[in-house]
Amino acid sequence: MTLDSEYWSRYYEVTVERPAWQTVCIAIARFKAEDEAAALHGHERRPHPERLAVDLGCGAGRDARELLRTRWRVIAVDREPAALQTLVAAAGPELGARLETRAEDLATVEIPPCDLVNASLCLPFLAPEAFAATWRRIVSALAPGARLSVMLFGDRDESASDATMTCLPPERIEADLDGFEIEHWLVKEEETQTALGEPRHLHLIEVVARRIR
């Protein structure tokens, strides 16, 4: 599926003020609970502001801004410069002090070691070979204790017949999470609308997982 810059500009206008997706909020809460438990038991742990998230396909920044608001450092990646411009403007100078933006393609971007890789509704827009390579880079960036929060399209999504996209069966996604503890898993199939009001048959898989080995 090829969507032009005009489409994405309209998408950013509609979504810029929307709240963060559930997946990234769950991941943030998991890290916070770990920090609180460690403090309760007197264990030393890095200060929370030192945590680093890489937000792939950040769009207008609904997830990135939530991370910034909760004192994370964020590398926000999107191939559309308009997305990054929207995010920077919405974040403002205070939140923006912990924000780095990169105008790069998800198929080739290098992902540095980090505490969290977040990818909401962007990875399915990669063709299968590029998806597999990007998934490997995501996993490589996460040491034990780090997390990923992703939203993927399943094989019954209306985009599943598009050879330029990747829509995987839930069981395949689960198999690709070998070495992770799944903390949140939700499969949803419904008739819905896109952010721009277009009808869509959605087969969505939400995942939050912690690397354990």
Residuewise pLDDT in 10s, the chain (213 residues): 667 778 888 889 899 989 999 999 999 999 999 999 888 877 655 545 579 999 999 999 999 999 999 999 999 999 999 999 999 999 999 999 999 999 999 999 999 999 999 999 999 999 999 999 999 999 999 999 999 999 999 999 999 999 999 999 999 999 999 999 999 999 999 999 999 999 999 999 999 999 999
User: Cα Rg for the chain, rounded, in angstroms?
Assistant: 17
The domain limits of the chain are 5-15+32-211
Residue 40 is predicted with a pLDDT of: 83
Predicted local distance difference test score (pLDDT) of residue 175: 97
* pLDDT for residue 144: 98
Supply the pLDDT for residue 206: 98
Superfamily of domain 5-15+32-211: Vaccinia Virus protein VP39 (3.40.50.150)
Give pLDDT, residue 9.
84
Instruction: Give DSSP secondary structure letters for the chain.
Output: ----HHHHHHHHHHHTTSPPPHHHHHHHHHHHHHHHHHHHTT-----GGG-EEEEET-TT-HHHHHHHHTT-EEEEE-S-HHHHHHHHHHHHHHHHTTEEEE---TTT----SEEEEEEES-GGGS-HHHHHHHHHHHHHHEEEEEEEEEEEEBTTSTTTT-TTS--B-HHHHHHTTTTEEEEEEEEEEEEEE-TTS-EEEEEEEEEEEEE--
Global pTM reads: 0.93
pLDDT of residue 71: 95
Rounded Cα distance between 32 and 209, Å, is 15
